[in-house]
């Protein structure tokens, strides 16, 4: 009898230890959701300040990693590292999603956004060329798709979450959607295959805002297990 009890206690400790390790891994993946956005923004600011004459308002983010740009050797590896961190974060969100469908879709959208950004690094913009050239067109499509995935992640994240973060997500989604429409609708410069005079401000307001949303998501996830159940599968409901 004593041996049986010891065996049961040992098994229970092993299960608890495995659950603890699993939770620590998930927490580490969530930290990537803070580190990735910080690295992305820091890289943009650092590279922009090191390129003499570069304008944050009038120049696109992608120009910093463009072929022919003096900042390309700095930006490319740092951006790749940032996207790798965001992919790890997406895996962490999936691990905490449990049976919540909207949470799982959020994770998939985050993964897709980072994946398309990674692909965009291998099809960079070429400085001095129109947006309609083959190389620049491919980059624009890839980055545009990445942004679309990120917007969808915000939308499904709003469904999965509750309280103030849901409201914040809805407002963020609507503001960025409206900004995207206003930035391109009836803009003769964009329609002609060139970049608008405020392209830098437009891109940064959207991307910095999205990166802030990702970082806040990483912060609220551990304390909001009703929406992202993770450790308490029994409390998860399908949405």
Q: Between residues 27 and 149, which one has the greater pLDDT?
A: 149
* Helix pair 199-220, 164-184: axis angle to 10 deg: 160
Question: Which of 108, 104, 214 is closest to 165 using CA atoms?
Answer: 214
Range with the lowest mean pLDDT among 116-120, 186-190, 197-201? 186-190
Residues 178 and 156: their CA atoms lie apart, in Å, by 18
Average the pLDDT over 23-32 and give the result: 84
pLDDT one-digit tens code per residue, 5-14: 445 445 545 4
DSSP classification of residue 66? S
pLDDT at 170 over 90: yes
Q: Determine the number of helices (DSSP H) and then strands (DSSP E) in the chain.
A: 7, 0
Residues 22 and 46: their CA atoms lie apart, in Å, by 36
> Cα–Cα distances in Å, from 14 out to 3, 28, 233?
16, 21, 19
220 Cα distance to chain centroid: 15
pLDDT of residue 90: 96
DSSP 132-187: TSHHHHHHHHHHHHHHHHHHHHHHHHHHH--THHHHHHHHHHHHHHHHHHHHHTT-
Q: How confident is the model at residue 201 (pLDDT cuts 50, 70, 90)?
A: confident
Q: Between residues 21 and 219, which one has the greater pLDDT?
A: 219
Q: Between residues 19 and 82, which one has the greater pLDDT?
A: 82
Question: Which of 79, 27, 24 is closest to 221 using CA atoms?
Answer: 27
CB 56 within 8 A of CB 48: yes
Q: Write the burial class of residue 163 (CB in 10 Å: 0-12 exposed, 13-18 middle, 19+ buried).
A: exposed
């Amino acid at each position: 009898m004593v041996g049986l009890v010891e065996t049961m206690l040992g098994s229970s400790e092993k299960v608890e230890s495995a659950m603890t390790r699993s939770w620590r891994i998930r927490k580490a993946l969530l930290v990537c959701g803070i580190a990735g956005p910080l690295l992305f923004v820091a890289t943009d600011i650092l590279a922009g300040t090191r390129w003499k004459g570069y304008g944050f308002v009038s120049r696109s983010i992608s120009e910093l990693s463009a072929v022919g740009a003096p900042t390309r050797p700095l930006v490319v590896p740092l951006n790749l590292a940032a996207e790798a961190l965001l992919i790890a974060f997406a895996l962490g969100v999936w691990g905490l999603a449990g049976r919540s469908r909207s949470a799982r879709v959020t994770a998939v959208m985050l993964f897709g956004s980072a994946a398309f950004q990674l692909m965009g690094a291998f099809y960079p913009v070429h400085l001095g060329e129109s947006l309609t050239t083959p190389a620049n067109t491919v980059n624009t499509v890839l980055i545009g798709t990445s942004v679309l995935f990120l917007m969808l992640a915000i939308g499904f994240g709003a469904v999965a979450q509750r309280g103030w973060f849901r409201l914040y997500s809805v407002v963020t989604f609507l503001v960025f959607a409206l900004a995207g429409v206003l930035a391109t609708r009836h803009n003769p410069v964009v329609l002609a295959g060139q970049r608008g005079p405020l392209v830098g401000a437009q891109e940064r307001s959207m991307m910095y805002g999205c990166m802030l949303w990702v970082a806040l998501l990483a912060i609220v996830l551990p304390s909001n297990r009703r929406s992202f159940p993770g450790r308490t599968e029994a409390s998860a409901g399908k949405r």
